[in-house]
């Protein structure tokens, strides 16, 4: 995943001086030059991106780069994924007002987008913190090497999971469904996800 590099103090000053109007212009440019041109064209999803200020979900010193077409570091190894990654996830998920959604993410941006589209939305920082359910849709903000069986207990029988998976070293968008009490994922397309350590494959010995 490509991450925005640290910027000098001038960029921090620019972030402080940016007005709400500036961010609205940047948000519209993000929609037109990052989402639409890459196949994210659902009117409802684009309206969600227009309604949620991405700059509110990054540290103050990073607000000036919130709308760049790459991940924004949040500290402690966490990132805000590119807008296109979230757009691809929502296009694959097709959330509706009939959905109850669980968002597993260390930041609130993806959950805020989902709230614009779904009936109910709950966010947890990690799978270990997740409660409630069953949910008809689970969004995981990052790529997993394996999807734990614990996800099945949170997912309705006809529900789906949209996340990233690590496939031979490449991160891909994936759609998973429950089968025989387990979740089975199908890769859809390459996508820019951060790899999540909590979903790492078990280590095995080889001789």
Q: What is the DSSP string of 124-192?
A: ESSGGG--S--EEEEEEEEEESS--THHHHHEEEEEEEEEEEEETTEEEEEEEEEETTEEEEEEEEE--
**What is the Cα–Cα distance from 111 to 135, expressed in whole angstroms?**
14
User: Structural domain of residue 30, as residue ranges?
Assistant: 9-80
15 falls in which pLDDT band (50, 70, 90)? very low
Examine the domain organization and report whether 132 and 193 are in the same domain: yes
- Residue where a domain terminates, one of 25, 47, 80: 80
**What is the Cα–Cα distance from 158 to 117, expressed in whole angstroms?**
19
Examine the domain organization and report whether 117 and 51 are in the same domain: no
Examine the domain organization and report whether 105 and 191 are in the same domain: yes
**Taking a C-beta distance cutoff of 8 angstroms, is the pair 188, 176 a contact?**
no
**What is the Cα–Cα distance from 178 to 170, expressed in whole angstroms?**
24
pTM: 0.88
Q: Is residue 107 part of a domain?
A: yes
Average confidence (pLDDT) over 192-201: 94
Examine the domain organization and report whether 118 and 72 are in the same domain: no
Q: pLDDT at residue 29 above 50? A: yes
Q: What is the DSSP string of 69-117?
A: SSBEEEETTEEE--HHHHHHHHHHH---TT-EEEEE-SSSHHHHHHHTT
Which of 29-34's residues contact partners 24+ apart within 8 Å by CB, and which partners? 29/67, 30/54, 30/67, 30/69, 30/83, 33/69, 34/69, 34/82, 34/83, 34/84, 34/87
Q: Which pLDDT tens digit goes with each residue over 86-136?
A: 999 999 999 999 999 999 999 999 999 999 999 999 999 999 999 999 999
- Which are the contacts of 107, defined by CB distance < 8 A and separation ≥ 6? 57, 74, 78, 80, 141
Examine the domain organization and report whether 97 and 175 are in the same domain: yes
9 falls in which pLDDT band (50, 70, 90)? very low
The CATH number linked to 135 is 3.40.50.150
Of residues 2 and 102, the one with the higher pLDDT is: 102
Give the chain's domain count.
Answer: 2
Examine the domain organization and report whether 71 and 164 are in the same domain: no
Q: What is the DSSP string of 37-66?
A: GGT---HHHHHHHHHS-GGGGS-GGGGGGT
**What is the Cα–Cα distance from 158 to 19, expressed in whole angstroms?**
44
Tokens representing 63 are 């607000």
């Amino acid at each position: 995943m490509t991450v925005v590099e640290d910027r000098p103090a001038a960029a921090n000053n620019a972030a402080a001086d940016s007005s709400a109007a500036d961010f609205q212009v940047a948000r519209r440019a993000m929609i037109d030059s990052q989402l639409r041109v890459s196949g994210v064209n659902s009117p409802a999803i684009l309206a969600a991106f227009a309604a949620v200020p991405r700059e509110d979900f990054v540290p103050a010193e990073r607000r000036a780069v919130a709308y760049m077409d790459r991940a924004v570091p949040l500290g402690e190894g966490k990132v805000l994924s590119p807008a296109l990654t979230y757009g691809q996830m929502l296009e694959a998920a097709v959330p509706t007002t009939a959905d109850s959604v669980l968002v597993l993410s260390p930041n609130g941006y993806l959950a805020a987008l989902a709230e614009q589209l779904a009936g109910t939305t709950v966010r947890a920082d990690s799978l270990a913190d997740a409660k409630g359910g069953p949910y008809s849709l689970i969004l995981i903000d990052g790529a997993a090497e394996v999807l734990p069986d614990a996800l099945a207990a949170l997912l309705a029988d006809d529900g789906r999971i949209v996340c990233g998976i690590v496939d031979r070293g490449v991160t891909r968008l994936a759609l998973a469904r429950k089968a025989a009490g387990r979740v089975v994922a199908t890769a859809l397309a390459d996508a820019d996800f951060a790899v999540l350590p909590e979903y790492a494959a078990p280590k095995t010995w080889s001789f």
